Amino acid sequence: MTRLSFDFPESLHQIIDHEQTSVAAFITEVLNTPDNKGKPNLKNLAFNLRFNHAGEGGSPEIVDLEVTGTDYDAETQKGQVTINYRVERHYTCSDVKSQQKHTEICPFEINTSEQILVLQIPEDESRDTVFEL
């Protein structure tokens, strides 16, 4: 699994502590927060999701990425987030384009002492013929 860490301001976490927002809204807000280079964390997540689709051919781009649900245990500060997105591909040699919808269920942890959201992206399962023989 790929582990991604996203910083968040203390003020953002206080919203969850006081139950003023849902965990899904909190994660969405963290992903829309710019990183230290000024890019939204969402771009970093999309970039890493591309690796799960790179072996499928074409030039994959991740678009319309959104958090659609969470399962969260406030005591352990761990849970799972459901992320929906589309993969758009462009096969340049044949000038063909395609789109596919995908859903990932990613484990996450909120580290309040370090103000970090740690999100794990499951790797795409692939088959290896060596193990099939």
For the chain, the domain total comes to: 1
- Say if residues 121 and 104 touch (Cβ distance below 8 Å): yes
19 within a domain of the structure (yes/no): yes
pLDDT for residue 52: 82
Closest CA to 89 of 75, 79, 99: 99
- Say if residues 60 and 81 touch (Cβ distance below 8 Å): no
pLDDT for residue 37: 84
20 within a domain of the structure (yes/no): yes
63 within a domain of the structure (yes/no): yes
- Tallying the residues shown for the chain, one arrives at 133
83 within a domain of the structure (yes/no): yes
Domain of residue 63: give its range. Answer: 2-123
Token representation of residue 32 = 């829309």
Instruction: Say which amino acid occupies 28.
Output: T
Note down pLDDT in tens along the chain; length 133 residues: 789 999 988 887 777 766 657 888 889 999 998 888 888 899 999 998 988 887 777 788 899 999 999 999 989 999 999 999 999 887 766 667 788 899 999 999 999 889 999 999 987 655 444 544 4
pLDDT for residue 35: 82
